[in-house]
Structure 1
Amino acid sequence: MAKTSGTPARRTGARATAKTTARIAQQPAPQTSGTARRARAVVCAAAIIVVLALVSAFGWPGWAVRTPPAPVEVPSAVASATPTIAAQPLPSDASELVKILPEHVSNYVRGAVESSDEWQSAAPVEAYAVTYGNGDQAKDVRVLMGQWADAEEAETQYEKLAKALDGEQLAAGNIKVSGQNTGSYVVVGGKGGDGTATALWRNDTVVFRVTGPQASVEAVYKLFPV
């Protein structure tokens, strides 16, 4: 009786152990750890940020793609700005007005300065004429300048001369010195498109008029320091 009763007990324990082992074997493998999941999430987020940055850099206006600045217009005479001929010296008794005439403007050099009575009817304090050239007489320009007792008289003369200009207007505007408006200028092409031009401007009490071939006039008036 003791033998029979002990045997079933041992078999029952064996079956229980086998079932437990089976259940353990059938359990799925543990899930990937939270650290690994977070690492993958960080990598994915970084990749998305890089892609968005590249897209926005070249798709969003004005960020990574830069537009080159527009070229600045430079008078044609600047390319050969070194004078090839010598300037004429100023008279020994030159007035302060005459002394403002530069030796050269780009590669156009100053010729002899002479008194002028062309504007005598407008009663300037003084007036002079001078030629600026580069050795080719066909490109010479004539500069006539006069000074009046005050800016109002100079303005009156400027307006009179401007109304007398006959041709296509090429440019016009105000002259400013240290931010202050000190006069006006106008450039007019020759009548009938003959290739000549006249630049006229007033700076305070002084009026200038430059005449000659259009290319020469434009080069000189743009660079004239007064």
Structure 2
Amino acid sequence: MVDQKPGYLSPGFRTPGDKVHQKKNRAAVVRRRRLLLVGAAVAIVAVALVTALVWPGFARQADPLPEVTVTAPPPTPTAEAEPLPEGPTEFLTSLPETVLQLVRLDVAEDGDRVDETGAVEAWTVVYGDGSGTQVDLAAGQWADDDAASEVHDVLLQAAGEPTISGDVTVGDEVVGTYAVTPGGTAGTSVVTWRNGTAVFRATGPDQLVQDFYESFPM
């Protein structure tokens, strides 16, 4: 027969009072842990807010990189320019040797225009790239602005309705007007402009002749 000890003598025996106290102690531990977790979370949020206000750049999105515009280099001539005739006038010398990728391929005196319009001097200059693309320029100079303006008006009337027109300015001063009109053949245009006592008319491919005018220094 095995001797059985009373329950109150066993190692795990607890009185009803002890069990109540044990449950209360466990509940208190759980509450303390919850309070510690909540406190830690609040502390982390507070540190993040203070850091964002004090530390420059923290919590701030990086500034976007500036856009970079790549500009293609202007076209450069590849052909050699024709030299001016001997004893060139100041006006002829002022006409550029190159414009964009075009160079002066030929230059000749326009005696008919001198006789017909009373120009002091007049020239025809062919600008080209050496491979067949060219702009033909007629340039002349008159004794005064009124004479040049009269010739310019006659040329514009003969050219037809302009597609583009505007003022020619040197600095803030208006020294004349310009107009773009259709050329005699498809795909070509004529730009006619006056700069003081000088009048110019350039004929060539549509966009090229307009770029030529924009780049022409006179």
Does residue 103 in structure 1 map to residue 97 in structure 2?
Answer: yes
Deviations 1:83-124 (A, max 9, x none): 22x222112211111101222212211133222123643322
Query: Aligned pair 1:194/2:186, yes or no?
Result: yes
Match of 1:14 in 2: none
Sequence identity percentage: 30
Aligned match of 2:175? 182
Separation in structure 1 between the aligned mates of residue 174 and residue 188 of structure 2, nearest angstrom = 28
Match of 1:135 in 2: 130
Aligned to 2:16: none
1:41-84 per-residue CA deviation (whole Å, 9 max, x = no partner) reads 64242477689744xx7xxxxx7475665x7798xxx43x1322
Matches within 5 A, 1:82-161: 82-84=77-79, 86-116=80-110, 117-118=112-113, 120-137=115-132, 139-161=133-155
The 1-side partners of 2:59 and 2:43 are apart by 20
* Structure 1 residues 175 and 52: CA distance shift in structure 2, 3 A: farther
Counterpart contact for 2:104–2:125, Cα < 8 Å:
yes
Does the C-alpha gap of structure 1 residues 166 and 136 become closer, same or farther in structure 2, counting only changes over 3 Å? farther
With the length of structure 2 as denominator, give the TM-score of the two structures.
Answer: 0.66
CA distance in 2, matches of 1:105, 1:113: 15
Paired residues, number: 190
C-alpha RMSD of the superposition? 4.0
Asked if 1 retains the 8 angstrom alpha-carbon contact of 2:114 and 2:120, the reply is no
**CA contact under 8 A between 1:168 and 1:190: conserved in structure 2?**
no
Q: Does 1:224 align with 2:216?
A: yes
Which runs of 5 or more residues in structure 2 are unaligned?
1-24
Q: Which residue of 2 aligns with 1:212?
A: 204
Which residue does the alignment assign to 1:11? none
Residues 37 and 215 (structure 1 numbering): CA distance in 2 closer, same or farther, change over 3 Å?
Answer: closer
State the distance in 1 between where 2:93 and 2:100 align: 18
Deviations 1:9-53 (A, max 9, x none): xxxxxxxxxxxxxxxx9x998x99xxx999656424247768974
